[in-house]
Structures are given as structure tokens and as C-alpha cells.
Chain A
């Protein structure tokens, strides 16, 4: 017997799933809306390019932008070469033995450690033990250690997405393992590695805890000129002017948040565009 479609019983699950989806995006949209509404009026060229004045109650946030930028740059230099090389080794060369399994387990678990723990680790190891002081380099090293497992994991999944048959075809032509990786696996994994890396950069740029004790200063009266300098960074500066300094204009606080948001979302958008571009070009 053919039953009539009971519309009602179809609609209930649909409604709940739909409501759950809407619930997840409402806060995001609200945050963006509030920040833009309150902060946009304070954004101007001077705000972006000048030093803070009057105990950070006036002037701009240039040193914080520059400090964040330096730390990101140095972290990129540390983390990607090492992370990508380690991922290639683990994925393409490592034998499945006890050591490899321990390393894999460590990578999975390291990604779950709260970032403030990395901050304290960086303080103990880089700032104090290696005497690098509170500096761009200590902050970048701490962020690198935090981000390394993520970079390794995303790179490995990019390498894994290259079909096994490509490797088999290349090896069967008498091409060595390394040259196969170099000329076949890597070029085809580049899109995945690149998008994963850009997302990692977005994550790094918004992080506060790991750089709080290792790189950031409340206020620095000069622009950083070496990687052993303390710097101001955006997330910490935002925290400082919203809670530590009395009588800061509200629009300045929101404008700072706006810049940080644009930085992180902007980098994520680059990743999205890159992903779309590579997907169009992908031939397999």
C-alpha cells in the first residue's frame, strides 16, 4: 500500500536542524555587526599608522599592528619548513613502528593542549632558560611549537589526498622515492598544503595566550627594530585598553577589535579564495 507523505513528521526534524544552523551563525553576525557599528568611525589613516598617545587613550595602534605582523612572519619562517618536512617524513618515509606511533599520538594530543600552557612553556624555556627574553623571537618560537602539530596534520592530509596510483606510476618508471615525492606528490599536494597553511596563519594571528608572557609588552614607546625586542601586539593591546587603562574612548577599543578581526578574517578569506581557485584547476 502506498502511504501519503506525512508532511508534519518531515518538517519537525527539518525545523530543528535549521534552527541549530541559524543559532550557530547568529552570534558571529552579531559580533561582527557590533564591532563595525561601534568601531568603524574611529578607523582612519592616522589610527592605523601612528603611535599611541596620552597613555594609549589617543593616537593610533601602529606598533601593535607591526608587532603582530613581525611575530606572524617569524612564526611562518620557523613553523612551515619544519612542519612540512616532518609531515613528508612521517607520511612518505616513516616505517609503522613504535616510535612512529608514539610521534603520531603525541601530535594528536599536542593539538589539544590549551594555548596558555604553551605560553607558560615558552616563558620557561625560551624567555628564561635560553635567555631570549620577552621578545619577538620567543613569542614566535612559542607559537611555532603550538602550531607545529596542526601544520603537520594538515600537510599530511594534503599528501594523503594525492592518489596512490600517481606514486605507483612514477615509481614503476624507475623514478626514485625522493624524486617521486619531489616531482609528483608535492606539486599535487601544494593546493592542500597552501590552504591549510593560510588557515594556520589566521589562527596564529589571533592567538593571545602563547605570546602574552613571551613577546608582548603593555606599552613600547618605539617601533621594534630587531627580533629580540619586546613588542606590542593587537590582541593584548585590545585587552589592555579595554580593562587596564581607564577612560579609553569606546570607539577606539572597537576599532582595535575591528582591525584584529579584519586581519584574521582577511587571512581566512585568502585561504577560501585559494581553495576555490585550486578546486577549479584540479584535474583529478
Chain B
């Protein structure tokens, strides 16, 4: 089923036209990878799906992004409800300098998702166990989150998003600060998330896209030049540029 649809979506930073006429249909409960050379606008597009890009003052958009039938750029839409529904995990773990427990409970309390202690604890534990972190941290829930390894921190970032109960999770190169072993584990986690969430994954690591995604969009210079099943993109792409990009012969 269709979950996210971009309709002639354009994005500008001042006069710099970054995203050009993006049209894409992202399916529910699948992993959709967006690959492309760095600087082509992948992050900008991802940040448009939860409107976190709104904080860039000189950013303008036109066109539509429709999530579950609602254009999220409609004036009547509450941007905070969009962001609750569309969680995001960033390139570098960006935990708050507070305890592991508080990192998760913060969003729950402020968003009034839960307010009594036992409910909050239950959600904290549930989200930690969904990211397979509970076992490692259950004795140090009240210790600073910044003492965790980078991989654990990234898992905690994912847990923090899960606790808010979104339908969509955006990943912006979530493994770029991790080593190979940690990358592998985070990839397994993302694959598991597909059962319950719609995942959009930006990566410049083509092997990663090939390994874990269902569909792949190839973005070059702010345009999506091809969008198809991952298998097709990596085995018989229909565009020449796609082929040269995925085989590593792409030059800008």
C-alpha cells in the first residue's frame, strides 16, 4: 500500500534549487533506499518528509508530500504531529546529555504520551528491547547516555523514536560513523523494523542498499533518475546513468 507520495516536489535554499521535481511513491512496510553521490540532495529530501528542514529559515518548497493521504505541507497541518508520525535517525547519534532512561522518557513526557511512572518504564523497556539494547543497559538506565558505544548510542536513538510510536522512520546514513561489525548489526535491526514501520533509508553505501532495501531510488543532482525494486536497480537498470552509478563508473 502507498504510504508516502511526493508530487512535483521542489526545494530551494535561497535561490539554490536543490530538489527538482521529485515524484516518488513509497510503499508501506518496506525499506526504500535512496542512493546517490554526496551533495545530490538525499538528506534534504529525507528532511522534507518530516519537515525538520523547516528550521532552515531560507528554505522554500513547492509541490506536495502526501503521507497517508494528507499533504503534510498543507497550511492547516500541525508540523509537530507530522514529526511524531515520522521519526528520524540521524547520521551521528544525537542523544541528549542526560541518562539513558531520560532520553526515552523525555519525548514521552513532553508529548504527553504517558505520564505515570510505570507506563513510562514499560514503554522505555519495550523500546529498548525492540532495538536489542535492554539486556546491555538494564543495569545502567540512569547513567549518562553518552557513555554508551556509538553503536549503542545509535540504537538508543532508534529506541527514542520507537517510543513515540511513529508509522514511518527515516534513516540518514545511520551507519556512517560505525565500523563494519556495528553496521551489520544496525542493518539487521533496520530489516526487523520493516515488519511494523515504513522505512526510508538514505545511504551512499550501495552495498547497504542492495543488502537490505526492497526498493531503491537513485538520486543524482537533485533528481530521482530511476526508482524501482532494488533487484532491478542492481541487476538490470533501465537508465544508463543508474548503471554507471551502481557499477561505480559514475563521474560528476
State the A residues within 8 Å of B (CB).
95-96, 165-176, 179, 183-184, 188, 283-284
Contact = CB atoms under 8 A, between A and B. Distances in A.
A176 B94 contact: no
Contacts of B97: 188, 283-284
Interface magnitude class on chain B: 20 to 34
B164 A174 contact: yes
Contacts of B80: 174-176
Most buried by B among A169, A183, A284: A169
Q: 7 tightest A-B contacts by CB?
A: A174-B84, A283-B97, A174-B83, A165-B94, A173-B107, A169-B94, A174-B80
Interface string B93-109: 01111000000001100
A168 B83 contact: no
11 contacts: A96-B57, A165-B92, A169-B94, A169-B95, A169-B96, A170-B106, A172-B83, A172-B88, A173-B111, A175-B80, A175-B107
A101 to B, nearest CB: 13
A40 to B, nearest CB: 46
Contacts of A165: 90, 92, 94
Contacts of B5: none
B162 to A, nearest CB: 11
Contacts of B244: none
B164 A173 contact: yes
A176 B58 CA distance: 20
Given A96-B58, A173-B84, A173-B107, 14 more contacts: A96-B57, A165-B90, A165-B92, A165-B94, A166-B96, A168-B52, A168-B55, A171-B52, A171-B83, A173-B160, A174-B83, A174-B84, A179-B110, A184-B96
Contacts of A166: 94, 96
Interface string B52-95: 10010110000000000000000000001111110110101011
B24 interface: no
Contacts of B133: none
A174 to B, nearest CB: 3
Contacts of B57: 95-96
A175 B111 contact: yes
B168 to A, nearest CB: 12
B249 to A, nearest CB: 35
Given A169-B96, A188-B97, A283-B97, A174 B90 contact: no
A17 to B, nearest CB: 37
Contact of A174 (B81, B92, B96): B81
Contacts of A95: 57
A94 to B, nearest CB: 10
Given A173-B107, A179-B110, A183-B106, A168 B90 contact: yes
B88 A183 contact: no
A168 B90 CA distance: 9
Contacts of A184: 96
A37 to B, nearest CB: 48
Given A175-B107, A179-B110, A168 B84 contact: no
B161 interface: yes
A171 B106 contact: no
A173 B52 CA distance: 10
A176 B50 CA distance: 13
B146 interface: yes
Contacts of A283: 97, 144, 146
Interface string B107-127: 100110000000000000000
Nearest to B161: A173
Given A174-B84, A175-B80, A283-B144, A168 B110 contact: no
Nearest to B108: A173
Given A169-B90, A174-B164, A284 B83 contact: no
Nearest to A175: B110
